[in-house]
Structures are given as structure tokens and as C-alpha cells.
Amino acid sequence: MIKLHVNGTLHTIDAEGETPLLWVIRDNLGMTGTKYGCGIAQCGACSVMIDGVVTRSCVTPVESVADKAITTIEGIEQDPVGRRVVEAWVRHQVPQCGYCQSGQVMAATSLIKAKAHPTDDDINAAMINLCRCGTYTTIRAAVHDLAGSAEHAA
Ligand code: FES
Ligand code: FES
């Protein structure tokens, strides 16, 4: 049994320790907003926050994150910066099919927390998750937009 803190709630999970966190989130907890894309840490669709650090859950053994604070897309709006990112995503109508977007929101939240006013180069370096729908231009516009108000976030 493994204890996991997910979105502020403590869960006791019956899973093998090496099980990828992604499958525990989706199958054990029923939170399906975090997506499976490649399974090899390349696409970013499975990104979640672990103690505030954006992390690819498809290659993260669940036993390695016991007692850490895990935030998924279902809980990202509990974070003031995460909420602003989601609001900017809605304003700019960023998602197309939406499949990659929970990971994109995680990456953007991490970026804005690290750098309130990112340059295009900062965005290029941080926003490396793949999007098969090609939403990169609207992602960039949304990040620049929300950066203007990030300095007021907690
Ligand atoms: S599913 Fe984890 S990086 Fe692609
Ligand atoms: S919105 Fe469809 S893959 Fe990114």
C-alpha cells in the first residue's frame, strides 16, 4: 500500500511500487485528465506537478512520489498561477483536440512560476511538450498574456 497526496487529498493506493504514476492517477484514482502519449518521457502529455516541479508521470515510479505533493490538471486551479494559466487558455481558446493540453498547462504554470515575464526564448525552452494539433502559436500568445498578471499571483 502506498500513500499519495494528490490535489490536497491523501489516498492509500494498492499498487506495485514500480507502477508508473500515470497509471495510478488514471486507473486507481480515476483522474483521466492526465494523458498517455508516448510512455517514454518525450511528449509531455502525462505531465503533473510533484512538489511544484513539472514531472512526466509515465516514467515516474509511484513509490518515488509517496509523501510528496502531486498536482494534476484536476487540481491545478487550486494554485493561483495554475488558475491564471487555465483562464488564459480559455481566453485564447488554446485547445483544439485538447489531448496534450493538461500537460501544456503544467508546463506553462511551471514556467510562469520560474519567470513572471518570459521571453520567446524562455517559452521555446520551457514549452517543449508536443501538440499534434499545432497549437504552439496560441500557447505562446496565452503565455505572454498571462505573464502580464503573473506578478500579482501568490
Ligand atoms: S506520455 Fe509521458 S512524456 Fe509522453
Ligand atoms: S490540442 Fe490536440 S494535441 Fe494538442
Going by alpha carbons, the residue nearest to atom 3 of ligand 1 is: 41
pLDDT at 151: 43
Give me the helix-helix angle, 101-114 and 80-91, nearest 10°.
120
Query: Within this chain, do residues 70 and 87 fall inside the same structural domain, yes or no?
Result: no
Ligand nearest to the CA of 35: 1
Asked whether residue 85 falls in the same domain as residue 42, the answer is: no
- Looking at residue 63, its pLDDT comes to 97
Assess whether 50 and 93 both reside in one domain.
no
Q: Does 146 share its domain with 95? A: yes
All cell numbers assigned to 42: 518525450
Ligand 2-lining residues (CB < 6 angstroms): 95-101, 131-133, 135
- What is the mean pLDDT of the segment spanning 53-62? 97
Phi/psi for 4 (5° steps) reads -130, 135
Are both 110 and 85 inside the same structural domain?
yes
CA distance 100 to 95: 8
Q: In which domain, by residue range, is 37 found?
A: 2-75
Question: In angstroms, how far apart are the furthest CA atoms of the chain?
Answer: 44
Are residues 146 and 86 part of one domain?
yes
CA distance 134 to 73: 21
- From the alpha carbon of 57, which atom of ligand 1 is closest? 2
| Mean pLDDT of all residues in 23-45 | 98
Confidence of residue 66 (pLDDT cuts 50, 70, 90): very high
The bound ligand whose nearest atom lies closest to the alpha carbon of 102 is 2
Residue 36 sits in the same domain as residue 98: no
Asked if 147 and 107 sit in the same domain, the reply is yes
Q: Which of 53, 76, 52, 65 is nearest to 23 (CA)?
A: 65
Q: Can you give the pTM of this predicted structure?
A: 0.93
Q: Is the pLDDT of residue 50 over 80?
A: yes
- Which of 32, 56, 60 has the most ligand 1 atoms within 8 A of CB, as the residue to mutate? 56
Q: Is the CB of 48 under 6 A from ligand 1?
A: no
CB 99 near ligand 1, within 6 Å: no
* Model confidence band, residue 45 (pLDDT cutoffs 50, 70, 90): very high
